Structure 1
Amino acid sequence: MASVSSALADARESARQLDRDDELAFTRPEFNIPTKSQIASTRLPESSNNEASNDTTKSVYLCGNSLGLQPKRTQTRLNQYLSTWATQGVQGHFKPLQDSPLPTWLDADERAAELIAPVVGASVEEVAVMQTLTANLHLLMSAFYRPDINGRHKIILENKAFPSDHFAVETQLRHHNLSPSTSMVLLSSSTAQQDNILTTSEILSAIEEHASTTALLLLPGIQYYTGQLLDIPTITAFARQRGIFVIWDLAHAVGNVPLQLHDWDVDAAAWCSYKYLNAGPGSIGGMFVHNRNSAVTKLITDEKPEEGYSNRLAGWWGNDKKTRFGMANKFHPVKGAAGFQLSNPSILDITSLSASLEIFALAGGVGKLREKSVKLTNFLEGLLLAMPEFTEEKLFRVITPSDSKQRGAQLSLMLREGLLEQVIHELEKRGVIVDERRPDVIRVAPAPLYNTFGDCVEFVEAFGEALRAAASAAK
């Protein structure tokens, strides 16, 4: 135990120095980080202000891959929105207010698109902030999945995709009177089946095998369970060269790793905003549609308003602004991803998302955050691999790829069977928040906007105690 204590002491000193040298340390105070007493409380507090609590010791929150923490400016921006609504009513749609940092509600989606475009590496025209992740996947597939039962009809996805992606693909197939048993191709690893780590060569091989009968490829930028970052540009190019339309689910990639969707020639993508984008639980999602797939080549005419654009499920908010409020029953979309919008978006959601995206801009973009993220995750991995619970007792192992180029901020830890529930309980007792994926995995994600190297040390110390307690109870 003396050597363990000495190692932790050395790690704490290293962490203090790394945190002192951190050029992005100024972003942490931008967030409400729950205290340990708040995490343990079962009562709704009168205030979310940490200073209002007797215990101001911060919790160790390593769960940004599931739900990002709340930016402090979110409350300010939401109050400004509520004040606009309270004092202006319907005029808030069109009336700019002096000294307000908020756009009119009519333009709120455009402002959010301007903020999210650099995060995903796209032009403003290629992105839209709208709907939710699975709804956007359905909208994209309804527009671009065109099966031919005698030719291309298959959809390729991974066998352990997030369940919602499975459900979306299966129901899209049934919508076209196709069977998942014949039209859905599930990718699985031949070398790492238990951990579900798919190599790029395995993915390319499967694409090649089914190329002549595949219409669409749907994969995650980062796999939710393992934290593996897929080679988006290589896979995209390979599939598109074989005539396959490519959609990426970026739920765990957006705001986590640098993306260049336009330059990588991705056809389309969708994402949520409540993980690394910190917009709040269930907040508004977004989509990317490459400009070659969202062009509007003809002006609206009374004779044939449906000409000049790719068909899609449509709603009035996707209609060109020049005609949107004309109330004519002639849909003609604005060019770009915005033309895929349905109803007017939730201004509450957009305001919350935009508040967080302001901090991304202050930080200098995802590239700067990625530099810190790699250091954080490498530091955490080094501490984990030095633990006696790993080296000697084999109570856990890391299933996320060790190469930082093949992962984002998340490390997934596979625990020895039967330890998960007790480990989570012990961590929560110590004010440490991670998330679990049954039966045996915990996911640990130091988010560079608000986590520190000190957080990593605190987690490892608490994790060792939790493992020992769980192993003892299991005997």
Structure 2
Amino acid sequence: MKFSTDKKFAKSLDLKDPLKDFKKQFLIPGKGKNSQIYFCGNSLGLQPVTAKKYIETELKDWAELAVEGHFKGTNPWADYHKLFRKPLAALCGALPEEVVAMNSLTANLHLLLVSFYWPRERRVKILTEAGSFSSDIYALTSQIEIRGFDPAECLVEVGPREGEFAIRDEDIISKIEELGDELALVMMSGVNYYTGQAFDMEAIAEAAHNAGAYVGFDLAHAIGNIPLNLHEWQVDFATWCSYKYLNAGPGATAGLFVHSENFHLPRFAGWWGNDEKERFLMKPEYEPSIGAEGWQLSNAPVLPMAVLKASLDIFQKAGLKKIFKKSEQLTAYLEYLIKIKCTPAQKEKPYKIRIITPTEPSRRGAQLSIYFEKGDGKRLVQQFAKEGIILDWRSPNVLRVSPAPLYNSFTEVYTFVEKFAEFCEYIN
């Protein structure tokens, strides 16, 4: 698409936007003309309008049915987790039996590492990306330590080349090949939280398998943000949180994916992972459910999962193809305007900012990370907040801007960049 710097162009895109009415499906902080422009959905998505109704449905059944709500009522709770099979499978590019909504991201990661990290002989190392989210590093480090190994030797990071911010996929694959039979697991982000870079998960999975290792991904910033095809890519496992692009609320119920080829692997056992035909017989023998549901420990937390259901129903109604197409256009338009209005080559003293998110649409989602070479960018974010524009600052010096296709418009992107160009004077 050929863009224009004219504000009328942004408005014309909004008029033609097939998703323009979906903003009404979310609660925007502020009221009327004072409503916020919210570009922080990569940190916490907005509340679906229907969230309260969905929760109240379950509260009503609880009030009227009590324990009978497990098997009667609007959405019987004993099977509540099954409501998420199809929508999560669509988001992941998976078979319905390969996904389950459960727990939190890091708890799921630990449960998956029990199954997929088996250090033995020379094959003891885990490869991850430099600059991955700290919670992932904590999980990987502790899993290595609890098995009696040294993280300094067993946890290997691959980072960007000097002067670069994104990590080249070929460098990841090269490191996998270099580690060879020392490699037990490749575990990294699908999309890096700091730079917004989307990794080539298919190529990484192929390289890991060629080296004889398992491969898994943290999809916290990927699910609901970029197209995924985990089953066809032969990804062994993945996990994610649901409070970012999936808009399921703070601390929302997370989820995981296990490829069907790995259903036989050992795992920690719990009541709800047991075969549902045997679950209420209370036998001492454990017979895991077939599929990702076999990694469950406990029954579904219905009230928070009701919000996840509200959001996923919106995704299904909007259609993933339309969502990802608009996401690509919004991010490209944001990049176009920033490069013209905030880093103009003709200026005698260009602003000291740099977009560190890859330019190629296939290597990013709905996020641009803007690196500040000088100046107080954090103060700039605070100034934006006073203007009703909500952004995210990540230490030491990156501003993350995330236009979400379900509730952000092209005009909002235009308004932000106009204000950004004005505010950038503060950091020179």
> Which of the five TM-score ranges fits, normalised by the shorter chain?
over 0.9
TM alignment of 1:311-330, pairs within 5 A: 311-330=266-285
Q: Which has the larger radius of gyration?
A: 1
CA distance in 1, matches of 2:192, 2:373: 22
CA distance in 2, matches of 1:88, 1:56: 44
Contact 2:374–2:427 at 8 Å: present in 1 too?
no
TM-score by length of 1: 0.87
Instruction: Give 1:66 deviation, angstroms.
Output: 0.5
The residue type equivalent to 2:307 in the other structure is S
Equivalent residue, structure 1, for 2:201: 232
Instruction: Give 1:431 deviation, angstroms.
Output: 0.3
Gaps (5+ residues) in structure 2?
none
User: Matched residue of 2:170: which SS?
Assistant: helix
Is 2:150 the partner of 1:179?
A: yes
Counterpart selection for 1:416 from 370, 373, 386:
373
Counterpart selection for 2:425 from 454, 468, 472:
468
Counterpart selection for 1:281 from 250, 257, 264:
250
Contact 2:356–2:370 at 8 Å: present in 1 too?
yes
The residue type equivalent to 1:134 in the other structure is T
User: Matched residue of 1:321: which SS?
Assistant: coil
Gaps (5+ residues) in structure 1?
1-8, 36-49, 295-308
The residue type equivalent to 2:408 in the other structure is N
TM alignment of 1:289-438, pairs within 5 A: 289-294=258-263, 309-365=264-320, 367-389=321-343, 391=345, 392=347, 393-438=350-395
Is 2:65 the partner of 1:70?
A: no
Counterpart selection for 2:78 from 72, 93, 106:
106
Aligned residues: 423
Equivalent residue, structure 2, for 1:83: 60
Equivalent residue, structure 2, for 1:18: 13
Q: For 1:225-265, what per-residue CA distance to the aligned partner results, in whole angstroms no more than 9, with x for missing partners?
A: 00001111111111112211000111100000110111111
CA distance in 2, matches of 1:143, 1:326: 26
Instruction: Give 1:388 deviation, angstroms.
Output: 4.3
Contact 1:30–1:73 at 8 Å: present in 2 too?
yes
The residue type equivalent to 2:102 in the other structure is M
Contact 2:271–2:279 at 8 Å: present in 1 too?
yes
Contact 1:154–1:184 at 8 Å: present in 2 too?
yes
User: Matched residue of 2:323: which SS?
Assistant: helix
Is 2:181 the partner of 1:212?
A: yes
TM-score by length of 2: 0.96
The residue type equivalent to 1:83 in the other structure is K
Contact 2:341–2:418 at 8 Å: present in 1 too?
no
Is 2:69 the partner of 1:92?
A: yes
Cα distance change, pair 316–388 in 1 and its aligned pair in 2 (3 A): closer
Contact 1:376–1:453 at 8 Å: present in 2 too?
yes
Is 2:399 the partner of 1:442?
A: yes
CA distance in 2, matches of 1:388, 1:87: 58
Is 2:225 the partner of 1:256?
A: yes
Equivalent residue, structure 2, for 1:38: none
Q: CA RMSD in A?
A: 1.5
CA distance in 2, matches of 1:468, 1:15: 24
Instruction: Give 1:116 deviation, angstroms.
Output: 1.1
Contact 1:422–1:470 at 8 Å: present in 2 too?
no
Q: Which deviates more from structure 2 when the two are superposed, residues 253-262 or residues 76-85?
A: 76-85
Instruction: Give 1:58 deviation, angstroms.
Output: 2.1
Instruction: Give 1:113 deviation, angstroms.
Output: 2.1
Contact 1:419–1:467 at 8 Å: present in 2 too?
no
Contact 2:206–2:234 at 8 Å: present in 1 too?
yes
CA distance in 2, matches of 1:465, 1:82: 49
Q: For 1:31-88, what per-residue CA distance to the aligned partner results, in whole angstroms no more than 9, with x for missing partners?
A: 11112xxxxxxxxxxxxxx4xxxx5432110111111111101111011111111111
Contact 2:342–2:420 at 8 Å: present in 1 too?
no
Contact 2:190–2:217 at 8 Å: present in 1 too?
yes
CA distance in 1, matches of 2:189, 2:265: 25
Instruction: Give 1:390 deviation, angstroms.
Output: 5.2
Instruction: Give 1:11 deviation, angstroms.
Output: 3.0
Q: For 1:331-367, what per-residue CA distance to the aligned partner results, in whole angstroms no more than 9, with x for missing partners?
A: 11110000000111211121110110001100112x2
Equivalent residue, structure 1, for 2:27: 32
